[in-house]
């Protein structure tokens, strides 16, 4: 009887996690569009800082009770939460929005398919989570897809290391978020909202030095009317809805399996980039998309029970 109950609970957790990851990846697909819409409307670090400042204000109104409730545990993990906010949120978003200035929204979306690769490898290296041969095949297929998009379908560019600057920054951003994802498995035993609120606070704080550097080097660009719209959308979708959904998903099925669903981001990003931004969808985009989506099938097929 108990085994049957556990199986039912596991199936329910899987369905819930899958729904949460679809919501998460749609929001991240939207973020690729927002990154392009932000160009010339607001400077990158201004967007990062305002995005997390807005998220903190919303969380302070609706989630502060969870912080008070969990404070005894959270204050013992301040280094952990600062690291998660600085790397997973500030680091990722900074590189993401800088990348948007020199690559397309379609590329940004497809390159996020590298996140599951980094997550699975990180889980294996630092947590000794086994990787099956089929999962390894999924990693390799995804890597080929990333290479196709990074080289714009021309392998010769890889041989001569001629990779778009924006694509390179996007891969670094993916690495930062993979570190954050693996780090979630060591999260303290607190509520998702309590943890996320404190991480968001540290994300906003850690963005301030980068904002100062931007002001000194290139000058700040305050948001235009369109820029404010981008800020508002970034606060509600990728900052709040996506992150809360992702934290809950990792708690249900682990970082490796949750991370694989990031391969859905290219689908959402590519569709929206074509219809909203009017970007052209080339043959090499289609090839890369097929390859990175193949990773989700192989990795889920090869998952360990």
On the 0-12 / 13-18 / 19+ scale of CB atoms within 10 A, 194 is: buried
Is residue 193 within 8 A of residue 66, CB to CB? The reply is yes
Per residue in 244-266, pLDDT (tens digit) is: 898 888 888 887 677 667 777 87
Kindly state the average pLDDT of the residues 142-170: 75
Does the pTM of the predicted model rise above 0.95? no
196-227 burial code (b ≥16 CB/10 A, e <16): bbbbbbbbbbbbeebbeebeeeeeebebeeeb
Place of tokens 């086994």: 130
Cβ count within 10 A of residue 290: 12
Output the pLDDT for position 128.
66
Please determine, for residue 302, whether its predicted confidence score (pLDDT) is greater than 70.
no
Nearby residues of 288 by Cβ (< 8 Å), 6 or more positions away: 110, 145, 146, 148, 149, 266
More confident residue, 128 or 109: 109
3-state DSSP call for residue 113? coil
Output the pLDDT for position 280.
86
Distance in angstroms (rounded) separating the CA atoms of residues 234 and 50: 9
Q: Domain-by-domain residue ranges, the chain?
A: 2-301
Output the pLDDT for position 160.
61
14-51 burial code (b ≥16 CB/10 A, e <16): eeebbebbebbbbbbbbbbbbbbbbeebbbbbbbbbbb
Distance in angstroms (rounded) separating the CA atoms of residues 163 and 150: 6
Distance in angstroms (rounded) separating the CA atoms of residues 284 and 304: 32
Distance in angstroms (rounded) separating the CA atoms of residues 39 and 102: 10
Is residue 32 within 8 A of residue 265, CB to CB? The reply is yes
Per residue in 50-103, pLDDT (tens digit) is: 999 999 999 999 999 999 999 999 999 999 999 999 999 999 999 999 999 999
Q: According to the per-residue pLDDT averaged within each range, which of 55-64, 164-173, 290-299 is highest?
A: 55-64
Cβ count within 10 A of residue 281: 13
Q: How confident is the model at residue 146 (pLDDT cuts 50, 70, 90)?
A: confident
């Amino acid at each position: 009887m108990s085994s049957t109950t556990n199986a039912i609970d596991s199936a329910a957790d899987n369905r819930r996690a899958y729904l949460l990851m679809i919501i998460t990846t749609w929001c991240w697909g939207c973020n690729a569009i927002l990154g392009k819409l932000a160009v010339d409307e607001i400077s990158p670090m201004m967007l990062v800082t305002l995005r997390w400042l807005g998220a903190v204000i919303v969380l302070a109104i609706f989630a502060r009770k969870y912080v008070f409730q969990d404070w005894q545990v959270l204050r013992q993990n301040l280094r952990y939460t600062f690291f998660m906010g600085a790397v997973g949120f500030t680091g990722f978003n900074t590189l993401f929005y800088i990348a948007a200035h020199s690559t397309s929204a379609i590329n940004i979306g497809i390159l996020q398919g590298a996140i599951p690769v980094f997550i699975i490898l990180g889980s294996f290296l630092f947590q000794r989570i086994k990787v099956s041969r089929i999962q390894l095949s999924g990693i390799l297929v995804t890597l080929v897809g990333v290479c196709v998009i990074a080289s714009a379908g021309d392998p010769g560019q890889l041989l001569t290391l001629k990779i778009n600057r924006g694509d390179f920054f996007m891969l670094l951003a993916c690495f930062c978020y993979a570190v954050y994802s693996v780090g979630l498995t060591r999260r303290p035993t607190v509520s998702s909202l309590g943890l996320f609120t404190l991480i968001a606070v540290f994300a906003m704080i850690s963005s301030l030095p980068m904002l100062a550097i931007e002001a000194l080097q290139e000058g700040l660009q305050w948001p235009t009317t369109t820029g404010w719209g981008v800020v508002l959308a970034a606060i509600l979708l990728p900052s709040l809805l996506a992150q809360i959904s992702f934290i809950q998903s990792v708690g249900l099925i682990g970082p490796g399996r949750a991370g694989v669903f990031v391969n859905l981001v290219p689908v959402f990003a590519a569709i929206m980039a074509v219809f909203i931004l009017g970007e052209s969808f080339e043959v090499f985009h289609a090839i890369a998309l097929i390859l990175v989506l193949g990773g989700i099938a192989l990795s889920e097929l090869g998952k360990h029970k």
